[in-house]
Amino acid sequence: MVEIQRLAVEIVGQVLAGRSLDMELRAPRVRDAGLSPQDRGALQDVAYGTLRFLGEIDAVVEKLLDRPLKEASLRQLLRVALYQLAHTRAAPHAIVDHAVRTSVAIGQPAAKGLVNAVLRNFLRKSEQLLREARETERGRYSHPQWWIDKLREQYPDHFERVLDSANGHPPLTLRVNTRRTSVEAYLAQLEAAGIPARALGGAAVLVDRALPVERLPGFAEGEVSVQDAAAQFAAIALDVQGGSRVLDACAAPGGKTAHILETAEVELLALDLDPARLARIGSNLTRLGLAAELKAGDAANPEAWWNGVPYARILADVPCSASGVVRRHPDIKWLRRPSDIAAFAQRQRDILDALWRLLETDGKFLYVTCSVFQEENQAQIEDFLERHGDAQHLSLPEPRTGARTLAGQILPDDNHDGFFYALLQKI
């Protein structure tokens, strides 16, 4: 546990300094640490959990200390240990003992007594401290105050559910490749493998407990992919027709690309700015037995890659704040700043205007974000319609997975991440 705590201290510190959590968990110092698969899972849980409940943890730390700690690594150690004490089943005495030893491992041997005293004080008064921490909104919701305020303003009837959902564990949802098998047949495979699961509707299957993809029957053979249920709405809403020219802009990591190809025989171009992420799309398509043209390019600058032939369908899953997928990426809520939302909105506007010229008359354009902020969603589409008199806003079909939508906004719940959809037609 000492090594897990030490690495978690480094990871949390790097994330709060501006690094991506996923990148830190894949960093050489983690890869070369010699951790067993079980220990790697424990490290991921501690790092994710500490960031998931950081607001609550910091409120507790403030009550346990007479003055703020100057040493950042020591502050991260208390955060990590307090997460373990408050939210895991690990033996409390072992957590405290290892945290004292970890203080030496991170170069703070003089702080052993402080770490021991603070954590034992928490154990004595944990119920009271957690109750008091949750009396503040930052402690109650474990989100930055500006984020809480924005959601309250934009979703007065739903903001608490959105915030609470963001602090939960994400579901493991699969998309069955219906070119190779059926949902019913795949559920039978899961049952035979002792993996409890149920159908959500469409091609979506919800697995009761998270597990490595290597344990999923038929994964290597391309029978199934991991994709959130709300993300699976894209291929349905786009209404692709066999033989059509389709553009999937901002395509990586390729889940929607593959789903479109599983749905219909089309001529599809998958575009992404990052060549490395584009290569991952190719690998996924090969596993699934699918094919598309892959091209590196900026969706906001089609002159550099477009051949001049218009598309019947365009999917624009644009860069966004990712505020709808925070439970999968808890670092996002602490890394984002209010000014980032306006920057994302401008980038989205540029992509929308650039790609609209590539759509044929009567063609359909699906705008998608994994955000819950209205500046990136409803407001973005309203502004677009004011600028483009040849655009008509179409009604969306009902999601087959039971997601509830508010004017195209899917708010996160137990079965879905937060996504926004707007279907437009050129007239």
271/268 Cα distance (integer angstroms): 10
Query: Per-residue pLDDT tens for 339-361?
Result: 999 999 999 999 999 999 999 99
Residues 195 and 264 both lie in one domain = no
Same domain, 240 and 313: yes
- Report how many domains make up the chain: 3
Is residue 118 a part of any domain in this protein? yes
- Its domain, for residue 179, covers 172-226
The per-residue pLDDT for 177 is 97
311-317 and 359-369 beta bridge pairing: parallel
* Catalytic-role residue among 148, 229, 370, 403: 370
- The reported pLDDT for the residue numbered 351 is 98
Residue 266, pLDDT score = 97
Low-confidence residues in the chain, pLDDT < 70: none
Contacts of 187 (CB under 8 A, 6+ apart): 197, 198, 199, 205
181/221 same-domain check: yes
The answer on 394 and 245 residing in a single domain is: yes
Q: What is the domain-level CATH number for residue 97?
A: 1.10.940.10
Q: Are residues 201 and 239 in the same domain?
A: no
Q: Is 370 a catalytic residue?
A: yes
Cα separation, 333 vs 185, whole angstroms: 39
In a domain, 30, yes or no: yes
Residue closest to 288 by CA, chosen among 309, 306, 270: 270
Q: Which helix (H) or strand (E) holds 237?
A: helix 233-237
The pLDDT of residue 70 is 86
